[in-house]
Amino acid sequence: MSAATIRQLAQRVERRNNDHGQVLYNSNVYAYQVRRMGKRTLVVFLDESLMMSRAREIINLGVLLGVVSLVLYTIILVLFSRRVIRPIIEAEQRQKEFITNAGHELKTPLTVISANTEMQELTNRETELTTSTKEQVSRMTKLINYLVSLARLQEQPQMNIIPVDAIAVVDRAVAGFKNVAANAGHRFEAAVASAITVMADENYLYELVSILIDNANKYCDPDGTVSVQLAAVKKNAVLTVTNSYAKGAQVDTKRFFERFYWENKARTLSKNAGYGIGLSMAQTIVHNFNGRISAKYAAGRISLVVSLRRVTK
């Protein structure tokens, strides 16, 4: 570097009024230190390019080692994770098989109990005891059917996912529950938009809508209102099933989809009591449709909201 160039760099440093820092010249970085000695000023320059180059090499090497380590860790994790979680998967599979097998085994004694009860009624007339027995047998049969259906749903059933006319499915489910709601003393309202198509299995979609409406009707307040609404919201089809429930502020809606969850802590049976399985089945169906389901409470009403992707032209 010529003396003239060094003098220019020193003048640049002098104009900065800083005793130390860095200056760039010809793509090289120079650190400088200024020392004033009376009328003279000494400026010392240090070429940092080599140190910075070494630092960049170390950083690049560190990044490379990090990437290689991450790749190796991922490979090892993939190779051994299946072996580690295999017992868990097998245990879950055995549990589902147990539910299915136990359900089929329990149906036989229930059928026998039901037949014996009917024979007893034919012989000794119908009594309060036989009526209660038939009601409990019917309830147990429905519970077993729910359990078996839920186990099969969680085993990734063969669903025929195709474009489905959601309007027709919802209308069919609504028509089937109007009289049920009227017999329970509830007002029934439906507001269904037009021309909504979703990707779903038609039979399971009907099952989903029926579960939600049935749940709303069971837990609706006396003289309350059950409403069903299907609307297009942006790219989604949103199904909202609402029922009146004055005590809803005390309910934890986040737990609605837990299996066997009852808001009745004592779990006392009533004529319209559910099994705590229906909404868990609904959640599984929605997940198989790649949709979302949630529950919320506002202004004395509980709403179950399902969002499914619409099929647009």
- For the chain, list the domains and their CATH numbers: 3-47 (no CATH), 89-154 (1.10.287.130), 162-309 (3.30.565.10)
Express each pLDDT in 256-313 by its tens digit. Answer: 887 666 555 444 444 455 556 778 888 888 988 999 999 898 888 999 999 999 987 6
User: Which strand (E) or helix (H) includes residue 209?
Assistant: helix 202-218
**pTM exceeding the 0.75 threshold for the entire prediction:** no
In sequence order, what are the residues at sequence separation of 6 or more whose Cβ sits closer than 8 angstroms to the Cβ of residue 214?
A: 177, 180, 278
β-strand 225-233 against 187-192: which pairing, if any?
parallel
Between 74 and 17, the more confident residue is 74
- The gap from C-alpha 48 to its chain's centroid, in whole angstroms, comes to 55
β-strand 20-25 against 40-47: which pairing, if any?
unpaired
pLDDT at 27: 76
Rounded-to-integer distance, Cα 130 and Cα 164, Å: 45
pLDDT at 267: 42
Express each pLDDT in 78-127 by its tens digit. Answer: 888 777 777 777 777 776 667 667 776 777 787 888 888 888 888 888 88
Of 94, 274, 308, the residue nearest 204 (C-alpha): 308
Residue with the two structure tokens 């400026």: 43
pLDDT at 72: 92
pLDDT averaged over every residue in the chain: 82
Query: How far is it between the farthest Cα atoms of the chain?
Result: 129
Q: How confident is the model at residue 54 (pLDDT cuts 50, 70, 90)?
A: confident
Express each pLDDT in 126-176 by its tens digit. Answer: 888 888 888 888 778 877 777 777 666 666 567 788 899 999 999 999 988
Considering only CA atoms, give the Rg of the chain. Answer: 36
